[in-house]
Structure 1
């Protein structure tokens, strides 16, 4: 019986909420997160980021304003252009520093933007490339926008931490006021007739409690403010979406070209070592049979009969080769019939269930077919399973494939392995492969492809 997958089950399996997708159980700690935050290294890294942002952004803001003002005033002459290009290059250098600060203190890994490349050598080509680069202008925009925000975050962070720590520790140092200042404590209110000091035990305890609350809240306040910094760093100092997409497409194109070349080599090898060699031997046998036809008709008949058997084997090899290129049943009847045919040829009993109301694009359908075919081959060769299931369904604009077996498990996407190659093929069409295979099994491999119907 085919495994039933409702929407909840499928979403849970694919997104990996279970432990099989590498989720780690958090270590038990003695303090809850709200109380533990001021003691964690992350809070002090983020505070250090805020403290460093103020002087750095101030210096860069002054430089950027001076540079843009000078270059704008001198644009009527040629001098303004190299000044502007040099200023933009300096802003890109500041961006390098900011990305390193974000990686080290905020744990935000921002990729470097596209490099400046002139079509020809020389300073003029370099200046033109800098001025035409969108990343250069995004770095300048970051320099101008980050200054007022860094002033605000610096003020808020220093105020919260300073007042919080001062109030929290006030019961320890309030004795300074009566000894050295001649007052009862910190003055809350005062006029010509009345003055109010924090000096009673209840007031000391209340001040310490307020300070504790402020210290506990300060890391979260700073963390919330730094969300804007994270967005600014990733949005303005990293590569643009277009550049990232171009890079991905170039990588995917390389994968597609390599895969196509490997497939052509495989087809050539199969033809050379299989059907071609068999047909050459068949031609030689038929030539010998022709020579013996007059001398020994019985021997010639036996040779023709053997050649007839060889023809059948050669035809079967050619059919298998054609099925490996693109099976006719997939073109004529779709995934349901094609996957059922694969399941019937698998050495492990396989139950296939395809829940599709329409057919996806032919290219996606072909990739889905060969993905399931390769996964079932892995089940036959390596899993030591006694049964397997194949489920196919559509989720919004994605085609979902899931192959499950009850084998020994331990499958992984290792470099140079079959699953790694399959991952690259799926990635070339914006697909995803998720492997859940704990030691001892079971193994569940889920593939996601764009629908493109």
Structure 2
């Protein structure tokens, strides 16, 4: 293998749910940092931290302390569940606030799950106490309060000092006497009562606003980490949700494949066999009266048999080609590349064969990608490569010199292909600028036979 090959496709997992919006990833004009919309949004979020976090922390401390003290009675346990339920509601408010002001789209955590067959208030109380989301939200309320106090004081001080300095020439006349700094401790020191001093105060205000902008960006990033880490779904919950989604996609894909096979059998080979049976019946009736006509009908039926066999062979190849089972992925990819209308160079470097399931998914992925090259790319040549990375991943890459513009969100088969790959912890990366070239990389987990 050459060193130019990537070890993984340059794209994040499609299921990755926690990410800031693209606008927040742009640096913007650094000269406009103090007055940028993002600075105002995030600064407002940090100022609102204190009153909201203070109320939540007081409620959490009092509620947990009182319910904890009453645990020896029958009231303590349901009271604790109600306190946790209220804190979960506060978590919804914090996720909404982060979405609006921090542009941080945090996925909803896993819902409350009752035990199978459990019903009634006691089951709800037990589920609330067992839920990790409830306790993570309570932890967020307790941890966020001191941080909210710091962010409030920092933003309030820097913004107040900065904007007071910038606007000082406009309001200094309202002072009963000039603001000044006595440098010698006796009197007659440096006073801010002239144009040079005005300029210095304004510059200090501008520097304060720039410092506020930078500090706001950093503190807002800490808030994003707190919200996503404590109020978002846990790693295990996100994994369960992804597996459930992938399972649904696999079931839908399997059902669609079964319907396709049924339709192909009904409209293709079955219809030919029915026609063949009718022709042979008519030939049998004419065998005694008109042997020559019967012979012609048998000859036509023989041709129908060949066509039916060819259709059944193609259908079987679409289900699972024999060459893939007998000879492996390399020869199977060469065979599917030979049927492409565009010349395809094939390079497969696999020292051993992967598991049959992974081999089959890789084969059908390559088959669909090459069909797209034939139908849509208008390319003059293409290249198909498959190799195993050092991270135990199987990479399949199809490149063509066509017109480009491939997009998995445009309702094409690439979206379904990405879902099928995601069902086995794989992913699909597409690079297809207008005018080409197009490179589609499929990554699959490597599993030995």
SS at match of 2:347: strand
* 1:8-19 map, 5 Å: 8=4, 10=6, 14-15=10-11
Aligned to 2:226: 232
Q: 1:172–1:83: structure 2 CA closer, same or farther, 3 Å change rule? A: same
Aligned to 2:82: 86
Shift of residue 14, structure 1, vs aligned partner: 4.1
Distance 1:12 1:220 in 2: 34
Maintained 8 Å contact 1:174/1:186? no
Could you tell me which of 197, 213, 217 is aligned with 2:207?
Answer: 213
Maintained 8 Å contact 1:256/1:425? yes
Could you tell me which of 214, 217, 221 is aligned with 1:223?
Answer: 217
Maintained 8 Å contact 1:255/1:425? yes
Aligned to 1:137: 135
Could you tell me which of 383, 393, 402 is aligned with 1:398?
Answer: 393
SS at match of 1:370: helix
Could you tell me which of 370, 374, 380 is aligned with 1:380?
Answer: 374
RMSD of the alignment, in Å? 3.1
Distance 1:6 1:256 in 2: 35
Aligned to 1:254: 248
Aligned to 2:19: none
Aligned to 1:428: 423
Deviation digits for residues 97-149 of structure 1 (CA, Å, limit 9, x no counterpart): 11111011101111222233545553333222222211111111111111011
SS at match of 1:444: strand
SS at match of 1:337: helix
Q: 1:195–1:239: structure 2 CA closer, same or farther, 3 Å change rule? A: farther
Q: 1:8–1:227: structure 2 CA closer, same or farther, 3 Å change rule? A: farther
Distance 1:102 1:14 in 2: 28
Q: Kindly indicate whether residue 408 of structure 2 is the aligned counterpart of residue 413 of structure 1.
A: yes
Aligned to 1:62: 58
Q: 1:413–1:188: structure 2 CA closer, same or farther, 3 Å change rule? A: farther
Q: Kindly indicate whether residue 365 of structure 2 is the aligned counterpart of residue 371 of structure 1.
A: yes
Aligned to 1:39: 35
Aligned to 1:280: 274
Distance 1:424 1:133 in 2: 30
Distance 2:443 2:316 in 1: 26
Distance 2:125 2:210 in 1: 50
Maintained 8 Å contact 1:435/1:444? yes
5+ long unaligned stretches in structure 2: 13-21
Shift of residue 13, structure 1, vs aligned partner: 7.7
SS at match of 2:105: coil
**Number of positions where the alignment pairs a residue of Structure 1 with one of Structure 2:** 433
* 1:6-405 map, 5 Å: 7-8=3-4, 10=6, 14-15=10-11, 33-118=29-114, 120-170=118-168, 180-181=176-177, 185-187=179-181, 191=185, 193=186, 196-199=189-192, 205-293=199-287, 298-395=292-389, 396-405=391-400
Distance 1:198 1:393 in 2: 75
Maintained 8 Å contact 2:54/2:145? yes
Distance 2:171 2:8 in 1: 55
Maintained 8 Å contact 2:8/2:395? no
Q: 1:168–1:425: structure 2 CA closer, same or farther, 3 Å change rule? A: same
Maintained 8 Å contact 1:34/1:216? no
Query: 253-262 or 5-14: which moved more?
Result: 5-14
SS at match of 1:352: strand
Q: 1:130–1:445: structure 2 CA closer, same or farther, 3 Å change rule? A: same
Distance 1:307 1:394 in 2: 49
Deviation digits for residues 145-192 of structure 1 (CA, Å, limit 9, x no counterpart): 110111112122222222333444456656666xx23xx63335565x
Q: TM-score, normalised by structure 2?
A: 0.86
Distance 1:83 1:197 in 2: 63
Distance 1:252 1:283 in 2: 44
5+ long unaligned stretches in structure 1: 17-24
